[in-house]
């Protein structure tokens, strides 16, 4: 059956299933439509290369890569109408899946690999590409056994904000009509909005209200600083996430900015010497510097502890997933599994892990280390990648934010301590640790993004085994593109800080700079701020004792308040619109809920597109942020007031367009 009329998502797509109820996707298991075709694979590869380059550059420049899956899904819809036979819904899923690997592999690469260049270790191009490739493949291999739990068994229990947005984009774009127009309208508005505010000097992106005397006084006297990133992307993300998750998420940011930072300032303002890991006294620090030098390490400890607790909680699930796979392999049930629940055979998974392990071992052997160090290094790569995969998948399913930075920091710390005990130090030790971190970080980023693909495919009716196969292709293409991009940029830019006498422009590479400082500290036998990590661990333990969501709260501590506060606005907007929908009831209530999700998805999609386009402009030598500058940009009162008014306007747009009466 090649022709299939696309239907709306079933009403129980986002709701927990009642006893005895089952979920039937848009494309049922018994229906076959074009999926793995030459068209979908080739377009996926093209988008994968383009978005890998843009995301790698953006991440090195400002520390934020681009999540490519959403804009690629928009582009896939547009391409569908260019061919004589219009692309099917499942072909668009394949395009999105291959292309979506770009943002995740690039994120893993830019978090770690630039540190090797900052340390002047100058890795060979093959080494650079291999680190990305090995980590990406391990991330896919270790996530597949968890698919059934995260995708099917927890149906309706996890919000999956990003998967929801992509699914709505593909469904509404495929079915056409007023919903598709609404989606495109919201996408265009958000794309223009975020492009202008993040690319040029039109109005301020961040609102801190420092022009208000009370806020300035709080910042000066107590280092209490409010921050708000007024862009449409985060507003839409908070809406899709929902109020409950957004509140816990933002609570972590409030705790960090209004409790921990002021407390450190209160005790440290009278100390006239630097306290490790900072290099300047607390008395001379701003609120941001206190956060970066101290509180963020607490966030790392909190995330790591939440991840370890999550690992213990999921051991039964992991064992059960492998048990299901092994049982199917032994009894030949995989061949009879329905199309929409068919994974890659377990033997292929085991062979993939074995081949990856041998390849990593050969890579480490080229570094001229002892057999003991080689075995320990391989074991850490496999263990960290395996156990942290469930952490990344859970974080993405709940908040759409991958804690890869925190987990990578933890990897560097543990790897350094272990390898130091085996006598590995100096430049070889630094390279070895950063190679481990690069593989683990890429595995985390890829697995987090891949669970989004699998959930989207579950809602729409894709074949999991097809998604799993093409994800390996996306990882290979993106690893090559990311590696070559970093190699090229390393020739024309400095990573981290400017070196004396070097006139090349600088790419800040913030995450890699942090990891570089950390690994140098360890390999040079400098002290480690164990107390800060321990405080974060205690925060997580207290939350777990209270029965609260520790991982989401820990993520809020680690991320700046400016990123979490607009999510809370989106969460409240979603809450009150859903209350209005309940009050209206019937078709009108259903329309309000659907339109709200569609508009929010458009904001996420448009914001991502605007960010990607803005990042692409930075690749051109003629680009400057002040190419477009408004007369009021440098005036904080005027510029931040404009930002507030426009953000409120976005909220009103969501409210009134969602509340429109359904037209019969």
pLDDT tens column, 16-32:
888 888 888 888 888 88
d(CA 439, CA 435): 6
Q: Would you say 440 and 407 are in contact if contact means Cβ atoms under 8 Å apart?
A: yes
Query: Does 423 fall in a domain?
Result: yes
H or E stretch covering 473:
helix 464-492
> In 524-585, where does DSSP find H-type helix?
530-545, 550-558, 561-584
d(CA 485, CA 32): 39
Lowest mean pLDDT among 335-339, 455-459, 607-611: 335-339
Could you give the C-alpha distances from 539 to 143, 210, 310, in angstroms and in order?
28, 30, 15
Phi, psi for 207 (deg, rounded to 5): -110, 125
pLDDT tens column, 136-169:
999 999 999 888 888 888 888 888 888 888 888 7
**What average pLDDT score do residues 424-436 get?**
87
H or E stretch covering 603:
helix 586-617
Query: Does 168 fall in a domain?
Result: no
Q: Would you say 432 and 123 are in contact if contact means Cβ atoms under 8 Å apart?
A: no
d(CA 133, CA 49): 14
227 C-beta neighbours (distance < 10 Å), count: 20
Burial of 390 (0-12, 13-18, 19+ CB in 10 A): buried
Q: Work out the mean pLDDT of the chain and round it to a whole number.
A: 83
Phi, psi for 535 (deg, rounded to 5): -60, -45
Query: Does 476 fall in a domain?
Result: yes
H or E stretch covering 229:
strand 228-229
Query: Does 118 fall in a domain?
Result: yes
H or E stretch covering 642:
helix 636-658
H or E stretch covering 66:
none
3-state helix, strand, coil in the chain (%, to 5): 75, 0, 25
Closest CA to 468 of 482, 457, 477: 457
Our CA angle for 276, 280, 282, nearest 5°, is 85
Predicted confidence band of residue 502 (pLDDT cuts 50, 70, 90):
low
**Alpha-carbon torsion (576, 582, 585, 586), positive or negative:** positive
With 70 as the cut, is the pLDDT of residue 617 above it?
A: yes
Could you give the C-alpha distances from 259 to 21, 251, 295, 523, in angstroms and in order?
46, 11, 10, 33
pLDDT at position 319 is 61
Query: Does 53 fall in a domain?
Result: yes
d(CA 481, CA 95): 17
DSSP for 116-179? HHHTT----HHHHHHHHHHHHHHHHHHHGGGHIIIIIITTTTS--HHHHHHHHHHHHHHH-HHH
Lowest mean pLDDT among 287-301, 365-379, 468-482: 287-301
Q: Would you say 435 and 124 are in contact if contact means Cβ atoms under 8 Å apart?
A: no
pLDDT tens column, 290-306:
988 899 888 878 877 87
Q: Would you say 397 and 151 are in contact if contact means Cβ atoms under 8 Å apart?
A: no
Query: Does 218 fall in a domain?
Result: no
Residue with tokens 């510029």: 639
Q: Which two three-digit tokens encode residue 355?
A: 């081949």
Q: In angstroms, how far is CA 162 from the centroid of its own chain?
A: 9
3-state secondary structure 417-458: HHHHHCCCCHHHHHHHHHHHHHHHHHHHHHHHHHHHHHHHHH
d(CA 147, CA 393): 10
Q: In angstroms, how far is CA 548 from the centroid of its own chain?
A: 23
Domain of 154? 38-158+343-527
pLDDT at position 559 is 77
Q: In angstroms, how far is CA 521 from the centroid of its own chain?
A: 28
**What average pLDDT score do residues 627-631 get?**
89
pLDDT at position 522 is 74
Query: Does 575 fall in a domain?
Result: no
- In the chain, the number of structural domains is 1
Q: Which two three-digit tokens encode residue 553?
A: 């709260």
Tell me the CA end-to-end span of the chain in Å, nearest whole number. 32
With 50 as the cut, is the pLDDT of residue 584 above it?
A: yes
d(CA 106, CA 445): 9
Q: Which two three-digit tokens encode residue 5?
A: 């009329």
Q: In angstroms, how far is CA 611 from the centroid of its own chain?
A: 15
Predicted confidence band of residue 255 (pLDDT cuts 50, 70, 90):
very high
Task: Find the farthest-apart pair of alpha carbons in the chain and give their distance in angstroms, rounded.
Answer: 76
% of the chain with per-residue pLDDT over 90: 25
DSSP for 76-104? HHHHHTTSSSPPPHHHHHHHHHHHHHHHH
pLDDT at position 326 is 55
**What average pLDDT score do residues 316-341 get?**
58
More reliable by pLDDT, 298 or 326: 298
Could you give the C-alpha distances from 641 to 226, 499, 636, in angstroms and in order?
15, 39, 8
Query: Does 467 fall in a domain?
Result: yes
Closest CA to 660 of 580, 604, 602: 580
Q: Would you say 479 and 113 are in contact if contact means Cβ atoms under 8 Å apart?
A: no
pLDDT tens column, 67-118:
677 777 877 776 766 677 777 889 989 999 998 888 889 888 888 888 888 8
d(CA 108, CA 103): 9
| Strand partners for 206 | 229
Cβ burial 348-368 (10 Å sphere, 16+ → b, else e): bbeebbeebbeebeebbeebe
H or E stretch covering 219:
helix 213-222
d(CA 235, CA 577): 14
333 C-beta neighbours (distance < 10 Å), count: 11
The residues, any chain, with a CB within 8 Å of residue 537's CB and separated by 6 or more, are 301, 302, 304, 305
Could you give the C-alpha distances from 632 to 207, 345, 635, in angstroms and in order?
15, 61, 5
Burial of 587 (0-12, 13-18, 19+ CB in 10 A): exposed
pLDDT at position 333 is 45
The residues, any chain, with a CB within 8 Å of residue 423's CB and separated by 6 or more, are none
Q: Which one-letter DSSP state was computed for residue 256?
A: I
Whether residue 124 is preceded by a cis peptide bond, meaning omega within 30 degrees of 0, is no
**What average pLDDT score do residues 472-499 get?**
84
Q: Which two three-digit tokens encode residue 464?
A: 């999991």
């Amino acid at each position: 059956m090649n022709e299939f009329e696309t239907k709306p998502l079933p009403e129980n797509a986002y709701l927990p299933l009642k006893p005895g109820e089952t979920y039937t996707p848009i494309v049922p298991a018994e229906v076959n439509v074009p999926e793995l075709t030459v068209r979908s694979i080739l377009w996926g590869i093209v988008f994968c290369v383009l978005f890998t380059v843009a995301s790698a550059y953006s991440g090195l420049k400002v520390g934020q890569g681009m999540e490519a899956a959403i804009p690629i899904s928009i582009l896939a819809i547009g391409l569908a109408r260019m061919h004589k036979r219009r692309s099917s819904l499942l072909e668009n899923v394949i395009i999105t899946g291959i292309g979506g690997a770009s943002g995740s592999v690039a994120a893993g690469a830019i978090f770690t690999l630039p540190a090797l260049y900052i340390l002047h270790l100058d890795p060979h191009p093959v080494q650079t590409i291999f680190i990305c490739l090995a980590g990406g493949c391990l991330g896919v291999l270790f996530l597949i056994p968890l698919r059934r739990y995260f995708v099917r068994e927890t149906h309706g229990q996890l919000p999956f904000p990003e998967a929801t947005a992509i699914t709505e984009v593909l469904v509404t774009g495929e079915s056409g009509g007023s919903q598709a127009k609404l989606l495109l309208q919201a996408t265009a508005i958000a794309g223009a909005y975020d492009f202008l505010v993040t690319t040029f000097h039109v109005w301020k992106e961040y609102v801190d209200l420092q022009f208000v005397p009370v806020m300035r006084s709080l910042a000066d006297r107590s280092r209490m600083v409010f921050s708000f990133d007024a862009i449409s992307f985060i507003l839409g993300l908070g809406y899709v996430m929902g109020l409950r998750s957004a509140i816990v998420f933002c609570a972590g940011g409030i705790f960090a900015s209004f409790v921990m930072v002021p407390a450190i300032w209160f005790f440290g303002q009278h100390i006239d010497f630097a306290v490790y890991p900072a290099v300047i006294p607390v008395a001379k620090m701003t609120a941001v510097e206190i956060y970066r030098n101290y509180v963020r390490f607490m966030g790392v400890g909190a995330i790591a502890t939440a991840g370890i607790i999550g690992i213990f909680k999921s051991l039964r699930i992991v064992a059960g997933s492998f048990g299901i796979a092994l049982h199917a392999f032994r009894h030949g049930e995989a061949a009879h599994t329905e199309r929409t629940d068919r994974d890659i055979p377990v033997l292929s998974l085991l062979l993939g892990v074995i081949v990856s392990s041998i390849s990593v071992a050969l890579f480490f052997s080229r570094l001229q280390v002892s057999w003991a160090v080689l075995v320990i290094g391989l074991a850490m790569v496999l263990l960290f990648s395996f156990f942290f995969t469930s952490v990344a998948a859970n974080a993405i399913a709940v908040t759409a934010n991958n804690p890869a930075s925190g987990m990578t920091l933890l990897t560097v710390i543990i790897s350094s301590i272990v390898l130091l005990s085996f006598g590995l130090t100096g430049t070889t030790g630094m390279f070895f640790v950063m190679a481990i971190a690069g593989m683990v970080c890429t595995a985390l980023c890829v697995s987090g993004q891949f669970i989004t693909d699998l959930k989207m495919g579950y809602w729409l009716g894709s074949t999991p085994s097809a998604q799993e196969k093409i994800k390996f292709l996306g990882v290979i293409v993106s690893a090559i593109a990311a590696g070559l991009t970093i190699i090229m940029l390393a020739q024309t830019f400095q990573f981290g800080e400017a070196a004396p006498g070097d006139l090349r422009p600088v790419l800040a590479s913030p995450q890699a700079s942090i990891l570089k400082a950390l690994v140098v500290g360890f390999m040079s036998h400098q002290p480690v701020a164990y107390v800060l990590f321990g405080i974060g661990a205690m925060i997580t333990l207290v939350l777990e004792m209270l029965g609260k969501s520790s991982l989401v709260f820990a993520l809020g501590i680690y991320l700046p308040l400016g990123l979490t506060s607009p999510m809370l606005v989106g969460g409240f907007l979603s809450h009150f619109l859903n209350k209005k929908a309940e009050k209206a009831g019937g078709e009108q209530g259903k329309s309000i809920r659907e339109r709200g999700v569609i508009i929010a998805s458009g904001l996420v999609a448009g914001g991502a597109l605007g960010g990607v386009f803005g990042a692409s402009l930075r690749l051109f030598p003629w680009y400057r942020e002040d190419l477009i500058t408004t007369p009021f940009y440098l005036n904080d009162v005027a510029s931040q007031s404009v930002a507030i008014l426009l953000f409120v306007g976005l909220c009103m747009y969501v409210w009134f367009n969602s509340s429109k009466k359904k037209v019969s």
